[in-house]
Amino acid sequence: MRLKNISLNYGMRIFKALSEESRVRILHLLLQNKELSISDMEHILDFTQTKTSRHLAYLKNAGLVGSRRVDQWIFYYILDEAYEIIQQIFKFIQKDINLIRDQEVYNILHSNRELAINKIENNPYRK
């Protein structure tokens, strides 16, 4: 669903969510990579599980992030209704060194097949 305009209340939730660097970094990774598990984000961002969960809960409550469960993993993604506005905002900060470094770490982990998505695809016990 593409938004043509947003309410003041929803706009405030977006800007409040973006007021914390950790949440900005999480959103950037989700924007770049479609979806990630909490363990992926912990490794990439070097956050504790508690910190990552707290920020993901905030983003979920703000209506920006959704989740889906696959086996024991929960994957997070940007909701369709928030995708376009988040994408527009990140056009202005896409060259930030921290965001670039986060994506480089993701690329290294992905190339080493250490991300949960690869664990799921290669799980011999999965039906």
User: pLDDT tens for residues 2-57?
Assistant: 556 778 888 888 899 999 999 999 999 999 999 999 999 999 999 999 999 999 99
Number of domains the chain contains: 1
Q: What is the pTM of this model?
A: 0.82
Q: Is residue 2 part of a domain?
A: no
Residue 36 resides in a domain? yes
CATH number, domain containing residue 78: 1.10.10.10
In this prediction, residue 29 carries a pLDDT of 96
> Domain range for residue 49?
8-121
User: Has residue 108 been placed in a domain?
Assistant: yes
The pLDDT confidence band at residue 71, using thresholds 50, 70 and 90, is: confident
Nearest by Cα to 55 from 96, 22, 25, 88:
22
Integer Cα distance of 114 and 64 in angstroms: 26
- CB of 76 within 8 A of CB of 37? yes
In a domain, 24, yes or no: yes
Q: Please report whether residue 127 resides in a domain.
A: no
Residue 72 within any structural domain of the chain: yes
